[in-house]
Structure formats: C-alpha cells, structure tokens
Chains A and B, each alone.
Chain A
C-alpha cells in the first residue's frame, strides 16, 4: 500500500487501489465494505472494499482475517501483508476522506452529513469495482446506522447484486474483515505520518487515539488551537469537540449562513448591514430620504461615507 498519492495533497479525497486480480474478472465475486476512523476528531476517515471470487472465501478465511478492532496495529500490518501476498485472488480499494473534506462537506452551506458522505463513498467504491470488471454477485457491508434502509439503498443502486448490510459484519464475513484491515492499516499509516501543510514547525505527534474522549487528544487540541484559524487541516472542524474549544478559546467568526434568529435574518434580507445599527453616524449616506442611490452603486455595494 502506497499512501504517497494521498500525502501529495492531504486536503482532498483520494483513492488507492490494488491491482485487479484477473480471476475476479471472470469468476463470480463477493465484496466487503468497511470503514475506519469514523469517530475520531483527528485525521481522515478511510473507506475500504475488499473482493475475491466466491470460490476463494474459504482460502480467505484461512488467512485468519478478523475484525480489525480486535487486533493490534502489528497484527493488522501482518494480516495486510498476507492479503497482499494473496493478490492473485484478493483485490482491494480505498477511499480516503481527508479531515478537510469531512469538515468542508459537513459544514457546507447545504449540509452534507456524515452518513450521506459515507454511503456515497461506499457506492463510489462498488462502482469502481464494477467499472474495473469485477464480477460482483454479493456485497457485505458493515454499518453503524440502521441496516435496512442502507441495504435497500444499495440494492436499488446495484440491481442483480445480493446486498447484506449488517452491524458487526466485520466479524461475521471474512471479506468484510479484510476490507476493515485494509482501511484501518491505511488510516493508521496516514495518522502516524501526518504531513502538516501548515507551517507549524515541529509538531508534537503525541495526539493519542484521536477520539474526543482521549485525554491525550484533548490536550493536543488545546495546545494546537490558533485563536484566528482554529486548527490545522488535520482536525475535523465539524466535530463538536473542535467547535466547542474554538467557541471558548478562539475569536468569533460570522458567516452569512450562520444560524440566526428571525429578526436578524429579516434585516439581512433587506440588505441592511448590522453595522449600521451599531453606528448610526457611520451608516447610510442618505439624509434626504427621497434620494435613492443609483443601482450602479447599489449593485456594486458602493456608498458614500460620512466619516472614516
């Protein structure tokens, strides 16, 4: 696994993939989907698929792949090594959602929530396998959310493929365990060697698990909070942990789509600047109420001033 393509620009989403085994293009295959790093406030979320011919499910089982969460980092690396050695019949692909992608999507004007983002990413990966000629017959998905709806969504999206969405699928189906190992190994490597594109000098890498309740993570978030910019792109700004810290320790920033009460919104719609309420003398130039500024100026938001 070469994470170089992601490290070249870790602010965006990136796909990494193995070679497609020839046998997967001619034999009926099963495919597992799992994710790594959904909860942490730090680092990317990695979506993984792993696939192999149905005839090879037993061979995959014999590799003793198991739920990545029950394994140590070293064990996961070893298992990934074994999967790599089985590349004659096992293929994988990963979609890395950078923390910046997660922040900007979830905080978008038209909100893009994490579930929708996850589903779309999973669908994109399955489509990638299909486009690569993998003969998909069965899909197994691990989920944290309600399974039925997601299963229905995927079945409709991929007619003719048998879709099973199941909580804890990563411990039930070896192909999902394999996907989970690929995703977790990838996330671990990225987090370990995170390349800060900000010019922050030497950064303390003792950020713990990245989970909001980890004291090490909390301490790190406090240490690396900038009063103006908040955080580096390693942090998910959309996490309430980050938001709360910024609300209390950083300067306030206001956007035109911030939640606001009805009265303020109404004023804004009337194109009135809130500032004109704060300083009447610095406000509008129209003493003569009959004077209406020409649209050349209003369209360009240009106005006369009374005072600097």
Chain B
C-alpha cells in the first residue's frame, strides 16, 4: 500500500469558491465594488469577515463550509483549498447593536455616528450607510429628533421585542424547511430518532434562540432566553435529549403541547427517565420569587446589573 504521505501546508491559496447572493455581483447597482471587510463579531467580540456591497448599501455575512481533506476541481484546474464560502445578506443591526449597548450604559441620547466607532475596526462606520441601518434603529433604540438631528439611546425592552420577532421568524423557517432541531443528527452511526412532527414548540424556540444568539452577546442571549420564558439549561445543554429537558418544566401538559405522544407506543417503550442531579436542583428552585420581565427593564434593576 501507499507510503505514509505527510501533509504540507497550503500557503499559497489565491482562489476561493463562493456561493453568493445574486445582489452581491449585480452590475445594475452602481457604486463602488463589493469588498470583504473585517468587523467586530457581536457574539465572539473578535474579528469576522463580512462583505459590503452596492456602495455600502448592503451588508453580507461570510460563512465557510469546510470539511477536512477536501479539494475542488474548478474547470480544468485543481484548487486544493476545499472551502465553500457562503455570502448571504445580513441585518446590519446585529453589528450596530453592541456599540449602542455599550453607550447605552451612560443612559444618554447620542448621535449614532458618534456611537458606532471602533478604533480596531474602522470599517464599522460604514455600517451606518447600509440602507436598512438608520431605518431600523428604532427596533433597538429610542429616537429623539432635535431639528434635523437625530439622537438615539439603546433600549433593552425594544431590543428584546425585536429579537423575539427574529426568533419567531427563524422558528417559522425552521419548520418550513424541515430542519431537524433534534440532537445528534450528524453522527454516522446515529439515526434520527424523532420525526420532525415530534418536536415540540419549545425545541424549536430554543433552536431559534440558539441561532439568533450567534449574532448577539452572551448577556443579551441570556436576557432573550428569559424574555422568551425559556428556563436556562445547565451544561451540557446541547447534548441532552429534549425529552429530558421537558421534565424541567413544572407546567402541566397543555393542549398546545403534543400530548398524543404520551399515548404512542414509542413513548410507552421508553424507560422512565432520570433527572441529573443538576436538573433536580434546578427543578427544585422556587420560581415564585423570580423577577418579572417588566421589573427587569426598570431602570433600578438595570443599574444593579452593572
């Protein structure tokens, strides 16, 4: 058989295979050429690659599909780098939001162009040129107009409502596209145990929340979880089957919930599930003293938060 071959690094890559929204390369939209720029990723706080096109009117996200040990044939050439880049339209508000949150702590109304500034990522001011940015700032901030000048102040309440709508939209798309929100889908030895219809609303909501959380800070993600009235899970949150999680809820089975599954032979065959120690202690938490959502938004609580 073949001798062992050492992999050498691919240092001279100068070519990329991309699947891009048609609008990125639409020759009808004038202005400067599209450009890959680095901006602050709101979820990691580090640099990520984005695309600004149509004279900065449109923002796009760049995601790389990459499996180890893949290469391309492109026409009559080999491209060693097997990545496939997706360039998809992005809501600029996700990238603007962290800057408003940061300034929001001062509690003042400010001109937004003085807020969205970043020495490390100078391109961030271009975000305000996106068509959607100024028109949608009211989703995350209160607005005040003085003469011809506009001032903004971050509003967590507005932001939560906006993000909730984002989650809801995402849930609709997950259902429409039959995305499996269950666990362990991509294990070669593991077969999907549930059909799509078996997933409950909470599974979808959590999944939608998880997707939106890729675009917001951890603090906002936690706040959004509370806003969606989803109990926080103990780690390892992503590996527990949904059926176990449901035990956490002390609510009775509601009509909205798919209780027919309790009658299904599949359910009957399953042995009774045990709660982990962490789940038990969580379940025991007395929720009666917990703060309501509205109290969460009151200035006093906010001040306490930091």
Chain A residues with CB under 8 Å of chain B are: 228, 238, 240, 243, 247, 251-256, 258-261, 268, 273-275, 278-279, 285-288, 290-297, 299-308
Say whether B3 faces chain A, with CB atoms less than 8 Å apart: yes
Q: How far is the CB of A33 from chain B (nearest CB, A)?
A: 28
Say whether B250 faces chain A, with CB atoms less than 8 Å apart: no
| 20 CB-based A-B contacts, threshold 8 Å | A240-B1, A252-B8, A255-B69, A256-B69, A259-B4, A261-B4, A274-B7, A274-B68, A285-B44, A286-B44, A286-B46, A288-B218, A291-B44, A294-B211, A294-B214, A302-B86, A303-B64, A304-B41, A304-B49, A308-B49
A247 to B3 Cα, complex, angstroms: 8
Say whether B66 faces chain A, with CB atoms less than 8 Å apart: yes
Say whether B38 faces chain A, with CB atoms less than 8 Å apart: yes
Q: How far is the CB of A83 from chain B (nearest CB, A)?
A: 39
**A247-B2, A279-B9 are known contacts. Are A273 and B66 too (CB-CB below 8 A)?**
yes
Question: Contacts of B64 on A, CB cut-off 8 Å?
Answer: 302-305
* Interface pairs A-B: 3 shortest CB-CB: A287-B46, A278-B9, A304-B48
A286 to B44 Cα, complex, angstroms: 6
List which B46-69 residues lie within 8 A (CB) of chain A. 46-49, 61-69
Q: Judge whether A296 and B211 touch: CB under 8 Å.
A: yes
Question: Contacts of A308 on B, CB cut-off 8 Å?
Answer: 16, 36, 49
Question: Contacts of A297 on B, CB cut-off 8 Å?
Answer: 63, 214
Q: Judge whether B179 and A306 touch: CB under 8 Å.
A: no
Say whether B78 faces chain A, with CB atoms less than 8 Å apart: yes
Q: How large is the interface on B (under 10, 10 to 19, 20 to 34, 35 or more residues)?
A: 35 or more
Q: Judge whether B49 and A305 touch: CB under 8 Å.
A: yes
List the B residue with the shortest CB-CB distance to A290: B218
List the B residue with the shortest CB-CB distance to A303: B64
Question: Contacts of A307 on B, CB cut-off 8 Å?
Answer: 38, 49
Q: Judge whether B68 and A256 touch: CB under 8 Å.
A: yes
Q: Judge whether B69 and A304 touch: CB under 8 Å.
A: no
List the A residue with the shortest CB-CB distance to B186: A299
Q: Judge whether B210 and A296 touch: CB under 8 Å.
A: yes
Q: Judge whether A302 and B63 touch: CB under 8 Å.
A: yes
List the B residue with the shortest CB-CB distance to A251: B78
A302 to B214 Cα, complex, angstroms: 12
Q: Judge whether A301 and B66 touch: CB under 8 Å.
A: yes
Candidate in A255, A261, A303 with the most chain B CB atoms within 10 angstroms: A303
A162 to B66 Cα, complex, angstroms: 57
Candidate in B49, B67, B69 with the most chain A CB atoms within 10 angstroms: B69
Q: How far is the CB of A284 from chain B (nearest CB, A)?
A: 9
A302 to B49 Cα, complex, angstroms: 13
Question: Contacts of B1 on A, CB cut-off 8 Å?
Answer: 238, 240, 243, 259
**A305-B48, A305-B49, A308-B49 are known contacts. Are A273 and B2 too (CB-CB below 8 A)?**
no
A291 to B41 Cα, complex, angstroms: 11
Q: Judge whether A288 and B45 touch: CB under 8 Å.
A: yes
Q: Judge whether A285 and B41 touch: CB under 8 Å.
A: yes
Q: Judge whether B10 and A275 touch: CB under 8 Å.
A: yes
Question: Contacts of B11 on A, CB cut-off 8 Å?
Answer: 278
**A291-B44, A304-B41, A304-B48 are known contacts. Are A243 and B2 too (CB-CB below 8 A)?**
yes
Say whether B220 faces chain A, with CB atoms less than 8 Å apart: no
Q: Judge whether B68 and A294 touch: CB under 8 Å.
A: no
Say whether B278 faces chain A, with CB atoms less than 8 Å apart: no
Question: Contacts of A288 on B, CB cut-off 8 Å?
Answer: 43-46, 218
Say whether B25 faces chain A, with CB atoms less than 8 Å apart: no
A268 to B10 Cα, complex, angstroms: 18
A303 to B186 Cα, complex, angstroms: 16
Say whether B5 faces chain A, with CB atoms less than 8 Å apart: yes
